[in-house]
Amino acid sequence: MIAFCRGMLKEVMNLDTRLTSRLFRLVIVASVSLMRIACLSAQSIYTPGEVADGHRLYLASCAGCHGPEGDAIPGVTLGQGKFRRASSDNDLVQIIRNGIAGTAMPPGNFSPTQAKVIVAYVRSLAETPARAGSTDGVASRGEVLFDGKGDCLKCHRVKNSGSRLGPDLTDIGNLRTAAELERSLLDPGAEVLPQNRLIRVVLKNGSTVTGRLLNQDTFSVQLIDGNNKLLSLPRSSMNEVTFLDQSIMPSYRDKFSMGELRDLVSYLISLKGISPQ
């Protein structure tokens, strides 16, 4: 719908300039105004509050499959603002709530208002070119900081090195933008994806185990603890299991200079997975 409207506007504005009678100019102005109204009706205008609410819902319910930037599924890039099965925001709301039959897109347990604010966030991805991010740092210097001063391998893993306590960063450059990575380094608690939350288990003997949840069932909980050990804890041995909403990752705001921060982000962006041999 939007593409059609833009095309029609272009055609109208390119009409022969010799037709300059006052009446015809009035007709053009009226036509352009009507077309603009029609185009705007296909895509709503959202408030910053709606975008923020949608961002929270998206991270909690959608990012697990689509990724934080909506580009984790091959062939589906939400940030481009173009959709094969939707021409309006109302269409997107229906897809979010009802899913797409015959595909991996399931129905979502959202109210119309919740689905609408998720659309608001998805639209904001396309409206903010800077989200793609860029960095003028030096990746090789960033790697030295990552391994040394930042002590990042204590929690994270890159290829065959490091810990499994935190998220594996081997292909983080394919999943996050430079702007997002910088934000995570400066304010790691601002955005914690559900799959990256840690759990705290209080055992009946009084001891406490904190780690990253791998799996759980009726009888046991499997996790990676702070010593990078795989543990399988019987539920019969537990008093309490709690998810931690706050990140245990420290802020590097006061540890790195801005130049070092750019180098580190540049290194993280360069991590695109393990190359085939």
For 164-182, the pLDDT digits (tens) are 888 899 999 887 778 788 8
Among the CATH numbers 1.20.58.100, 1.20.120.160, 3.40.50.970, 1.10.760.10, which is that of 139-192+249-269? 1.10.760.10
Higher pLDDT among residues 221 and 22, named by residue = 221
Chain-centroid distance, C-alpha 154: 25
Among the CATH numbers 3.40.50.2300, 2.30.30.100, 3.40.640.10, 1.10.540.10, which is that of 198-244? 2.30.30.100
User: Per-residue DSSP letters for 31-65?
Assistant: HHHHHHHHHHHHS----HHHHHHHHHHHHHHTHHH
For 238-275, the pLDDT digits (tens) are 999 998 877 889 999 889 998 999 999 999 999 988 76
Write out the residue limits of the CATH 1.10.760.10 domain(s) in the chain.
48-132, 139-192+249-269
Which range has the worst mean pLDDT, 41-55, 152-166, 168-182? Answer: 41-55
Write out the residue limits of the CATH 2.30.30.100 domain(s) in the chain.
198-244
For 108-150, the pLDDT digits (tens) are 999 999 999 999 888 887 765 444 445 678 999 999 999 999 9
User: How many C-beta atoms lie closer than 10 Å to residue 170's C-beta?
Assistant: 18
Please indicate, yes or no, whether the overall pTM of this predicted structure exceeds 0.85: no
- Around 225, how many Cα atoms within 13 Å sit in the side-chain half-sphere? 12
Q: What is the mean pLDDT of residues 17-21?
A: 47
C-alpha to C-alpha distance for 219 and 200, rounded to whole angstroms: 17
| Architecture field, domain 48-132 | Orthogonal Bundle (1.10)
